[in-house]
Amino acid sequence: MKPMELNTNKKPVWCPGCGNYAIWNALKGAIAELGLNPWEVVTVSGIGCSGKMVNYIKCYGFHSLHGRVIPVATGVKLANKNLTVIANGGDGDGYGMGLGHFIHAMRRNVDITYIVHNNRTYGLTTGQASPTTLKGVVTKSTPEGVIDEPVNPIVYALSAGATFIARGYSGESELLKELIKEGINHKGFALIDVLQPCVSFAKEFSYDFYDNRVYKLDDNYDFTSKENAYKIAYEEDRFALGIIYKDISKPSYEEQHSVLKDKALVEREVRVRDISNILSAYK
């Protein structure tokens, strides 16, 4: 299968130059190169510009509520562990309203891939400050500049026990495709935080802003070291791209669960029980 064959009949409506196009192409390329069939893949999205992703990829999809990407994706995976489950969310969706779900999915190590379109703004609602907007930036909702410290998703992920943490960039789509492939192949929760410029409503974080600050981790980088990962996570003036941390020693949630580890729930026999006596008690 070629990536183009994963297009639907819907034309993307993202702004010209939006970083979501690169994520879309990288995701289609990853699915195609891994040889996954569309009926083996489920994409789940929340609310925001990232949420439109389910409309543009020809596989199963679920457009969930704001901040509820992870619970829905987890439910899909637990119902049928044989599916490849890929969640897409924005920084507002995942690191704001959905932050609690984000933390718990990582400590459980559910086998899903979570791609966060991190553009440091609420782009769909035209430019309010999000959890990752940097301190001091003036937005529609912060006319005197943001006074909150930004959420650091890499630090949060390391602290919560994530077993795969990577950072991609819309300006490096080939690298992003490889990171998505690695995330899908990882047996456990995979976070791919993507630096994604919003060219219309977050012009402080443009391609020029990131082009001058991103760098690729080299082959000598030891991604099994949490100490290394924390050092990278706390870098303020530059952003490392690549696999920042990976741990293959921890089993996934499904592999540990006594009910799930042998057979998917959808493959189990459904037992029909007569509950008429119970219902009659409430008449």
Distance CA 106, CA 86 (A): 14
What sections of 186-272 are H helices per DSSP? 207-211, 226-233, 253-256
Distance CA 111, CA 106 (A): 9
Distance CA 129, CA 233 (A): 21
Percent residues over pLDDT 70 in the chain: 100
pLDDT per position as a tens digit, 16-65? 999 999 999 999 999 999 999 999 999 999 999 999 999 999 999 999 99
pLDDT per position as a tens digit, 262-274? 889 999 888 888 9
In sequence order, what are the residues at sequence separation of 6 or more whose Cβ sits closer than 8 angstroms to the Cβ of residue 129? 121, 122, 137, 139, 141, 142, 146, 148
Q: What CATH code would you report for 3-281? A: 3.40.50.970
Closest-CA residue to 25 (of 4, 51, 45, 55): 4
pLDDT per position as a tens digit, 60-117? 999 999 999 999 999 999 999 999 999 999 999 999 999 999 999 999 999 999 999 9
Is the pLDDT confidence value at 207 over 90?
A: yes
User: Residue 118, Cβ neighbours under 10 Å: how many?
Assistant: 30
Tokens for 67, please give them: 């901040």
Q: Which helix (H) or strand (E) holds 243?
A: strand 239-246
Is the pLDDT confidence value at 250 over 90?
A: yes
Is the pLDDT confidence value at 1 over 90?
A: no
Distance CA 26, CA 142 (A): 33
Q: Phi and psi of 164, rounded to 5°? A: -150, 120
The pLDDT confidence band at residue 182, using thresholds 50, 70 and 90, is very high
Query: According to the model, what pLDDT value does residue 262 have?
Result: 86
Is the pLDDT confidence value at 283 over 90?
A: no
Asked whether the beta carbons of 83 and 37 are under 8 A apart, the reply is no
pLDDT per position as a tens digit, 135-153? 999 999 999 999 999 999 9
Closest-CA residue to 65 (of 43, 48, 81): 48
The pLDDT confidence band at residue 243, using thresholds 50, 70 and 90, is very high
Query: According to the model, what pLDDT value does residue 272 have?
Result: 87
Question: Mean pLDDT, the chain, as a whole number?
Answer: 95
Query: According to the model, what pLDDT value does residue 261 have?
Result: 86
Calculate the dihedral angle through the C-alpha atoms of 6, 183, 84, 61, rounding to the nearest 10 degrees.
-50
pTM for the complete prediction?
Answer: 0.94
Distance CA 259, CA 251 (A): 15
- Ordered by start, the domain boundaries in the chain are 3-281
The pLDDT confidence band at residue 249, using thresholds 50, 70 and 90, is very high
Q: Mapping DSSP to helix (H, G, I), strand (E, B) and coil, where does residue 35 land?
A: coil
